Structure 1
């Protein structure tokens, strides 16, 4: 059964995505995106059902209904996974199952073997392991007495804004990437406590969280303005253990 918080999150997400769908229609529209009736037609469900979902009513859409909603909203793969996770339904196209948040020994072993910065992340983005190169790169991250959390560091630690020259752009991407993981573990109180703390302590996170953006975790070039070594450029790779896809191995391979 879905919790009240899950129903509200699901409703907010569906509405945000509905209003963001590009509609090619002549003339001026008073409302952005699709109307509820238009989404209902696309998804082959009733407009009343769409309204109830968006209002967070005590309803539980089936996997079949969610599949039609995802198609009607033109959701990306990450957004589709988030939709199903919030609704507490298993997507037949995504066999991923929420797994316990214990450590992944294989990721720990790989991190120690790599000759460049590497670290492991659990579903709430606690850094479960990191090699010496990563500890040297992320100034201040490992100074915390509690478990280092990449989100808490990125959005609230003053060193992060200095270290990341493109902090504003990275903030939007990291928010969207984390929301995908959040959908998988929304019923875990540890996940919600991370979100609540960040919303209370970071205006950037709080504002960005309301935008409902969802994205895959992407690789590519990452730049760091290190206090001792100057401007550094890496290529980021993110890998998941087939046995534990909820844990990530993140590596930063130096360019050149």
Structure 2
């Protein structure tokens, strides 16, 4: 059982409670101390005021996951704060709850754009591409020309003849991608969210149905990718996968050209693309 002391769970609860503005939640009346009262947090969390008071006093033992989720909601905790609450209260993180993404921050897009010779994109746990840079549009796929619902990497691999033609070893790539996709979706708790896509591809692609039936699980971390580009010729790229801090629903892929001369050619194509886009 985790150690619930005034310096851990109790202190964290009290600190977050005192940061909240009572007026923002419709509570009024004069107060001697800042923040919500304990009974107000209990009311918002739909738990016993006595039980909540005991938690702030380091009494009563370990709360259940349901109680912690209610308290997290009542205190308006962020996802990292909710995870920290679980670590203090139960000694483990909460179960994964998948949330669909609404895009990325401008700062992250600016980071992608600085990689002028390295194709890079950001994808969700269900492998929908939500952001990319100009190098990705030049070398990999111009996602901006695809309808938003078609920017799924798995669908592209099994449905795009041009992408298959560019792949040096399409079968090996496709088999690896299916295993990595399965691992990402399961880790994010998004298996139900991808069920329609899996059914769709299983019906339209015998290869996908066969690979999915193998139940392989792969880790997409780093490696080497080789493509046959219609304009650039053979392009060898080292790729690395990165998590996005504070966004467990997102992952970033960066592809670095192995050959400096190819990097220079990609950089020129990116510059030409930008110039042609100017009015």
Cα RMSD (Å): 2.6
Q: Deviations over 1:175-215 (max 9, x none)?
A: 10000122145556542222121112211111110111111
1:49-68 correspondence to structure 2 within 5 Å: none
Q: 1:187 to 1:221 in 2, by over 3 A?
A: closer
Residue-by-residue CA offset, 1:143-182 (whole Å, 9 max, x unaligned) = 4323311111111110111111111111111010000122
CA contact (8 A) 2:224 2:238 kept: yes
TM-score of the aligned structures, taking structure 2 as reference length: 0.54
Alignment length, in residue pairs? 167
Q: Secondary structure at the match of 1:213?
A: coil
Match of 1:133 in 2: 135
Q: Give the C-alpha shift of residue 96 in structure 1.
A: 6.1
Asked whether the 8 Å contact 2:175–2:211 carries over to 1, the reply is yes
TM-score after normalising by structure 1: 0.59
- Structure 1 stretch displaced more, 133-142 or 171-180: 133-142
Deviations 1:60-85 (A, max 9, x none): xxxxxxxxxxxxxxxxxxxxxxxxxx
Find out whether 1:221 has 2:219 as its counterpart: no
Could you tell me which runs of 5 or more consecutive residues in structure 2 were left unpaired when the two chains were aligned.
1-89, 260-279
CA–CA distance in structure 2, aligned partners of residues 193 and 218 of structure 1:
26
Q: More displaced, 141-150 or 197-206?
A: 141-150
- Mapped partners of 2:93, 2:218: distance in 1: 17
1:230 paired to 2:233: yes
Q: Which residue of 2 aligns with 1:178?
A: 181
